């Protein structure tokens, strides 16, 4: 619905506002329950614009949220979607939205505003709450067993009659947009939590896979620009995958997500230099070369990467530098961040399939030490089958973590 002209003949209309980031079955069940229980002709979904209480929260783009809401409501003839708030410039207030809708409705139209019970408890902090409850009936949807005493207390304290509110219990409200975003960010399924069309939209655009609040920081932007020119297209895609997989693991295991992203982004920054260039830079940065590193110069890229991260990209955090330095060989007693980047490098999405990749990923999501032990054992066995020399750090790491190897 791009205009409000269609609502002038309604005798009853419910407005459902929200961020809808993303919209899910909890929203849809709530709207349908309200429509049926209160005998309402139509429900108008209005994705929020720029509400004051969301200014410090990262929210998906307006068009994404609008389109997801359209997709979710398309098969219900009693639901419509308005762009009113996302097209309105400046800060968005519910009272302004209700006034605009009220001005288009017939005088005898009964107008409802649907919101969650938690939001209803804070309604006294909204703009012009006393006027709002005069213009519409507030419908507060709650989970079964929700304690409404706090809402009643706050309303009476503010001089607002609780009779301005209608309360309806909706079991599906246990679903939350926050949980859905978090599940997407760590690779968990969101099937059956929202309409399939919305799930497909999120998956196709990777809507919540790469939304890190620091991505627009000047330092990160500059790093990505430099890497774009330093690395081959395939390697650049790989680094993005490792960075995002590192964030997923950091979320699961309680590590610093920004450090994980930065280390993943820079882990291969020295990878695409020629063997001759790598050896020359090792001399420049004082990296000691043993027989293995001389004969397999590609192994130097991790040690060089840490030096370049410091010298060229301005990274001073020793934890990040360590994760870059040991992401190929591993080492005994690795930090949590070192384990995360080491493992993310194995199974980020652009990696070619190899025997053992599924097991490494599964173990990594459950226990880092088990995943590290399994991947070290697998890598050493594979390299020996190719008659390659094994770096001492890898052998020492396997000895350290072998107690965590899964039982065969």
* Tens digits of residue pLDDT in 340-359: 999 999 998 788 778 888 89
φ and ψ at residue 14, rounded to 5 degrees: -115, 135
Q: How many other C-beta atoms lie within 10 A of the C-beta of residue 140?
A: 22
pLDDT band per the 50, 70, 90 thresholds, residue 138: very high
Mean pLDDT of 81-96: 90
The region, left, alpha or beta by phi > 0 then psi within -120 to 50, assigned to residue 24 is beta
Strand partners, 79: 43
- The DSSP result for 319-348, as a single string, is HHHHHHHTTTT--SS--HHHHHHHHHHHH-
pLDDT above 70 covers what percent of the chain?
A: 94
Mean pLDDT of 182-200: 88
Q: How many other C-beta atoms lie within 10 A of the C-beta of residue 256?
A: 17
Domains present along the chain, CATH in parentheses: 5-205 (3.40.50.620), 218-404 (1.10.3210.10)
**In the prediction, which pLDDT does 57 show?**
56
Quote the longest CA-to-CA distance of the chain.
88
> To which H or E segment does residue 79 belong?
strand 79-81
Q: Say whether pLDDT at 134 is over 90.
A: yes
Mean pLDDT of 14-23: 94
Give the tens place of pLDDT for each residue, 196-215.
Answer: 999 998 888 778 875 555 56
Q: What CA–CA distance (Å, rounded) separates 349 from 337?
A: 19
Q: What is the pTM of this model?
A: 0.54
Give the tens place of pLDDT for each residue, 38-75.
Answer: 999 999 999 998 766 554 456 777 888 899 999 999 99
What is residue 406's DSSP assignment?
P
315 alpha-carbon distance from chain centroid = 25
**In the prediction, which pLDDT does 3 show?**
47
- Cis bond upstream, residue 282 (ω within 30): no
Q: Where are the alpha helices (DSSP H) in 110-217?
A: 117-121, 129-135, 149-157, 177-185, 196-205
What is residue 194's DSSP assignment?
B
Give the tens place of pLDDT for each residue, 220-252.
Answer: 878 888 898 899 988 988 998 899 899 889 988
**In the prediction, which pLDDT does 294 show?**
87
**In the prediction, which pLDDT does 251 show?**
87
């Amino acid at each position: 619905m791009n205009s409000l002209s269609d609502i002038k003949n309604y005798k009853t209309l419910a407005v459902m506002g929200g961020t809808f980031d993303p919209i899910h079955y909890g929203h849809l069940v709530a709207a349908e329950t309200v429509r049926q229980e209160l005998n309402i002709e139509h429900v108008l979904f209005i994705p929020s614009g720029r509400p004051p209480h969301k200014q410090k929260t990262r929210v998906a783009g307006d068009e994404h949220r609008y389109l997801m809401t359209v997709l979710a409501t398309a098969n219900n003839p009693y639901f419509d979607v308005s762009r009113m708030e996302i097209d309105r410039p400046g800060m968005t207030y519910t009272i302004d939205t209700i006034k605009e809708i009220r001005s288009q409705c017939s005088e005898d139209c009964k107008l409802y505003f649907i919101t969650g019970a938690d939001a209803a408890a804070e309604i006294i902090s909204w703009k012009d709450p006393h006027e709002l409850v005069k213009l519409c009936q507030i419908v507060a949807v709650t989970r079964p067993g929700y304690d409404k005493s706090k809402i009643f207390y706050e309303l009476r304290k503010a001089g607002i009659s609780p009779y301005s509110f209608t309360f309806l219990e909706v079991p599906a409200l246990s679903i939350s947009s926050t949980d859905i975003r978090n599940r997407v960010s760590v690779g968990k399924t969101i099937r059956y939590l929202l309409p399939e069309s919305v799930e497909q939209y999120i998956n196709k655009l990777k809507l919540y896979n790469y939304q890190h609040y620091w991505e627009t920081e000047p330092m990160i932007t500059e790093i990505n620009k430099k890497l774009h020119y330093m690395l081959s297209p395939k390697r650049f895609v790989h680094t993005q995958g490792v960075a995002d997989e590192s964030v997923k693991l950091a979320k699961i295991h309680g590590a610093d997500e920004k450090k994980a992203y930065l280390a993943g982004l820079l882990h291969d920054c020295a990878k695409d230099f020629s063997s001759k260039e790598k050896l020359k830079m090792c001399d420049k940065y004082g990296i000691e070369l043993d027989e293995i590193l001389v004969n397999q110069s590609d192994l130097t890229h991790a040690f060089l990467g840490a030096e370049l991260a410091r010298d060229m990209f301005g990274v001073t955090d020793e934890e990040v530098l360590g994760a870059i330095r040991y992401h190929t060989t591993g080492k005994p007693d690795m930090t949590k961040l070192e384990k995360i980047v080491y493992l993310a490098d194995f199974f980020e999405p652009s990696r070619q399939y190899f025997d053992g990749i599924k097991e490494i990923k599964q173990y990594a999501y459950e226990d880092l030490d088990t995943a590290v032990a399994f991947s070290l054992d697998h890598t050493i066995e594979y390299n020996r089958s190719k008659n390659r020399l094994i770096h001492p750090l890898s052998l020492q790491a396997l000895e350290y973590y072998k107690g965590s190897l899964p039982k065969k």
